[in-house]
């Protein structure tokens, strides 16, 4: 009798546990943003001066001073304010801590005057930079200042975004 009673109780407990569970309060998905614990972005500004110059025909050039070693390849991308439409992208090589773009021309000719989101990007890996740059920056790990960060693979990168009238 005791054994039957135990089996019946076990069967009831088993049946009660077979139903679906409905959580009344599903937890909200959230992302944890990591702080810059290594102080990569602290220090003097990497991008120190930028100016845009237009030729008589409206063609745009961007030049500036940057605290990066000679030979660093820097990519500059331009997006009209409020859009995700790429208007122009150029790559330059830093010389004497300066850069100057070739003429930036859009798909229909010179870029119209207006506000643009300007993105500056330099990845410090063997595909982007020369061996001399990689040695001079200890694979980019010696760089510090606003815009210095790590890419998804943990490599050093310079990524800075600004709005400016061009």
The domains of the chain are located at 47-165
Angle at 92 between CA 47 and CA 46, to 5 degrees: 15
The whole-model pTM stands at: 0.75
| Per-residue confidence (pLDDT) for residue 29, from 0 to 100 | 56
CATH code of the domain occupying 47-165: 2.60.40
**Do 94 and 66 form a contact (C-beta atoms < 8 A)?**
yes
pLDDT of the chain, 166 residues: tens digit per residue? 555 444 444 544 454 555 555 455 555 655 444 455 467 888 899 999 999 999 999 999 999 999 999 999 999 999 999 999 999 999 999 999 999 999 999 889 999 999 999 999 999 999 999 999 999 999 999 999 999 999 888 899 999 999 999 9
Strands of 47-54's sheet in order across = 47-54, 60-66, 98-100
Task: Go through 56-88 and write b for each residue having 16 or more CB atoms within 10 A of its CB, e for each that does not.
Answer: eeeebebebbbbbbebbbbbbbbbbeeeeeebb
**Do 102 and 90 form a contact (C-beta atoms < 8 A)?**
yes
Task: Give DSSP secondary structure letters for 119-149.
Answer: EEEEE-STTTS-HHHHHHTTTTTT--STTEE
| Per-residue confidence (pLDDT) for residue 31, from 0 to 100 | 47
| Per-residue confidence (pLDDT) for residue 41, from 0 to 100 | 83
| Per-residue confidence (pLDDT) for residue 40, from 0 to 100 | 84
CA 19 – CA 125 distance, rounded (Å):
54
């Amino acid at each position: 009798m005791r054994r039957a009673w135990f089996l019946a109780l076990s069967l009831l407990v088993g049946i009660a546990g077979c139903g679906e569970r409905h959580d009344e309060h599903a937890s909200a998905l959230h992302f944890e943003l990591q702080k810059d614990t290594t102080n990569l972005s602290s220090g003097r500004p990497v991008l120190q001066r930028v100016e845009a110059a237009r030729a008589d025909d409206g063609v745009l050039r961007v030049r500036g001073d940057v605290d990066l070693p000679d030979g660093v390849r820097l990519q500059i991308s331009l997006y009209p304010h409020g859009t995700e439409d790429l208007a122009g992208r150029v790559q330059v090589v830093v010389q004497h801590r300066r850069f100057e773009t070739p003429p930036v021309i859009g798909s229909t000719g010179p870029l119209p005057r207006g506000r643009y989101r300007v993105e500056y990007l330099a990845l410090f890996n063997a595909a982007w930079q020369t061996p001399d740059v990689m040695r001079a920056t200890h694979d980019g790990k010696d760089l510090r200042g606003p815009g210095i960060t790590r890419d998804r693979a943990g490599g050093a990168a310079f990524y800075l975004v600004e709005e400016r009238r061009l």
